[in-house]
Amino acid sequence: MDSYCASQQFLDKFPALAAAGTVNLDSSLIHQILATVSTVLEDLQATAYRKPELLAEAASRLVVSTLPILQVALLGIKSEEALRPGQELLHPDNSSSYLSLVSALDSHDGTADEHVLRLTSSLRSIVPTWLNRNEQETVEPAAAASLVLLIFSGPTERKTILDEWAETVKHRPTSRTTVHGNGYFHALTIAQPLSELSEDVASKALLERWEWDTEVESRVAILQSLTQSRILRDKPMIFLDLIAEGLNDYTTNARGDVGSHGILFGPFFFSTLRLSAEKLDRVRPEAQAAIALVLKEGDATQFRKLTFSSKIYFQNLLNLHLMAGFVTSADTGNEDLVIASRAALCEFCESSQENLELVCQALLQNLKTRQGQDRVIVPTLEITAFLFHVKLFQGSAVNFRSLCLQTQKAGYKTGNVRKLEACIRVYSGVASMGDQEGAEAGVQEARKRLGALLYHPWPKVRSMVVDGLWGLVGDQEEAGERLKGVDWGRAGKEQIKTAVEELQLV
């Protein structure tokens, strides 16, 4: 493994070394590198090692790093195609660059290099083994290595390989033992730009598989593979039905529900939501149709009937239930998902006042219409509090008193500590607006609610209220001193009453 890493590091630096003229680029060095990598692949194919998933990952990364060596072997160092590290060239955002390389390779009329042929032949033999794995840390580099194979295969061979992968994905297995690995999904999505050259068999295969395969594991793998490539940005309309179905699929297994993985498309739908209010008349109806796909059936029918230039259409954009789905991705799930979703949300809100109003009004609408549905209400409260924390919600024209009343309704007699904490943070956010014009009633209501929660029977809740109050009055000497030196978890009612009155929380 260490030798793999060392080799990979050298190969990744090769383009820079070549450009600087600090490496001897005679053919013997190029051939030696290719022969060494080929030997590694042949050994892995012939020998059964422990931890095959780790070796597959390491060897895949080695193959990707070998890409510029293969390029030099076939096109020479003076080719018009610039040398770039393999990982950089194969990045989804650089598909035009490797398509240009493919074009140059396909039009190259030089004799085939035996060392390149040996490596691609070895890679052709072992790639199916790698793609039959399911470990996330393995399938992604394996898919990248499979893209190297496609790039350095001739047009006919490339089409044959893509067709084989597509058939593997489309094939309905006769038993669990014949089910292929998730690597094939990733290989097809990452290769889609090349697949475009041959009737886009990649997209067709994925859609066909989704149609008949309702297994949670398969659908999650398909959704994950789609997010790792440019395919959704390049061909969004083709996959809209699939995405809509995935977002509304709550079938569960040990890894969670399919819809929770579909939430990865939150930023995609924010873009669609933005386009639904686009000033260009020809854009809005397309976005309107896309949004309708993820609405409940009755809402979707009504929304489709709206004239896309009418006032009621734009009012409905404020009341859509899309935020009900998005807030869950921005509040729960793995850390990367939360960070990405919240970043997308902030960017959307900061781009215009209209967008900020759209989001804030939708959050308030969630609180009004989803009471009792903690799966939506708690994340809605959390995201509302987050937007106050990043100083965005304060800039909206929301009725802040109404926000406090809906928040109070959500937390009334609840035993959900997380919900109570979110309520406290929303109240604290509103109360922090101080003398902001137009927010006076909301600020007063928020302070009143914080005062009421200071009487809560649970010590933990009272402590959370004090934490919120400290953020409001901690820099005020007299008020700050009033909060210090007291164990508010044990404080009596008279002591609490005195504090509430002195801090004007009534």
- How much is the pTM? 0.57
Which tens digits make up the pLDDT trace of 175-191?
Answer: 665 567 899 999 999 99
Q: What is the pLDDT of residue 224?
A: 84
Most confident of 291-305, 319-333, 427-441, 462-476: 427-441
Regarding whether 270 and 170 lie in a shared domain, the answer is: no
Which tens digits make up the pLDDT trace of 213-232?
Answer: 888 888 888 988 887 788 87
- When pLDDT is averaged across residues 102-122 and rounded to a whole number, the result is 89
- Give, in order, the Cα–Cα distances in Å from 422 to each of 378, 407, 461, 464: 7, 9, 11, 10
Regarding whether 12 and 144 lie in a shared domain, the answer is: yes
Q: Please provide the DSSP assignment of 202-228 as one string.
A: HHHHHHHHHHH---HHHHHHHHHHHHT
Structure tokens at 189: 């999505």
Is residue 332 a part of any domain in this protein?
Answer: yes
Which tens digits make up the pLDDT trace of 310-353?
Answer: 756 665 664 555 455 555 545 555 576 567 667 767 887 888 89
- Give dist(CA 92, CA 230) in Å, integer: 6
Which of 104, 134, 153 terminates a domain? The answer is 153
Most confident of 99-103, 133-137, 250-254, 279-283: 99-103
Regarding whether 295 and 321 lie in a shared domain, the answer is: yes
- The rounded mean pLDDT for the chain is 82
Regarding whether 318 and 174 lie in a shared domain, the answer is: no
Regarding whether 146 and 41 lie in a shared domain, the answer is: yes
Confidence check: pLDDT of 117 > 60: yes
Residue 256: its H or E element: strand 256-257
Is residue 278 a part of any domain in this protein?
Answer: yes
- When pLDDT is averaged across residues 158-165 and rounded to a whole number, the result is 95
Regarding whether 123 and 4 lie in a shared domain, the answer is: yes
Regarding whether 5 and 113 lie in a shared domain, the answer is: yes
Regarding whether 10 and 147 lie in a shared domain, the answer is: yes
Question: Rounded to an integer, what is the distance from CA 113 to the centroid of its chain?
Answer: 41
Confidence check: pLDDT of 427 > 90: yes
Is residue 350 a part of any domain in this protein?
Answer: no
8 Å CB contact between 246 and 258? yes
Which residues are CB-neighbours of 305 under 8 A, at least 6 positions away? none
Tell me which residue of 358, 356, 336, 338 sits closest to 346, measured CA to CA. Answer: 356
Regarding whether 191 and 88 lie in a shared domain, the answer is: no
Which of 126, 153, 180 terminates a domain? The answer is 153
Is residue 459 a part of any domain in this protein?
Answer: no
Domain region containing 324: 264-339
- Give dist(CA 85, CA 80) in Å, integer: 16
Q: Note the helical H segments in 276-373.
A: 284-292, 297-305, 311-319, 322-331, 335-351, 353-369
Q: Domain count of the chain?
A: 3
What residue ranges in 52-150 does DSSP mark as E strands? none
pLDDT band at residue 253, thresholds of 50, 70 and 90? Answer: low
Query: 329: which DSSP letter?
Result: H
- When pLDDT is averaged across residues 189-210 and rounded to a whole number, the result is 88
Confidence check: pLDDT of 475 > 80: no
Query: 50: which DSSP letter?
Result: S
- Give dist(CA 463, CA 79) in Å, integer: 68
DSSP-derived 3-state class of residue 257: strand
% pLDDT > 70, the chain: 79
Q: What share of the chain is helix, strand, coil (3-state, %, to 5)?
A: 75, 0, 25
Q: Is 506 exposed, middle or buried (0-12, 13-18, 19+ CB in 10 A)?
A: exposed
Side chain identity at 126, as an amino acid letter?
A: I
- Give dist(CA 260, CA 242) in Å, integer: 14
Regarding whether 132 and 1 lie in a shared domain, the answer is: yes
Q: Is 366 exposed, middle or buried (0-12, 13-18, 19+ CB in 10 A)?
A: buried
Is residue 379 a part of any domain in this protein?
Answer: no
Per the listing, tokens 């869950």 go with 328
Is residue 387 a part of any domain in this protein?
Answer: no
Regarding whether 66 and 52 lie in a shared domain, the answer is: yes
Is residue 396 a part of any domain in this protein?
Answer: no
Is residue 139 a part of any domain in this protein?
Answer: yes
Structure tokens at 51: 């931890």
Which of 292, 313, 339 terminates a domain? The answer is 339
Regarding whether 84 and 186 lie in a shared domain, the answer is: no
Confidence check: pLDDT of 105 > 70: yes
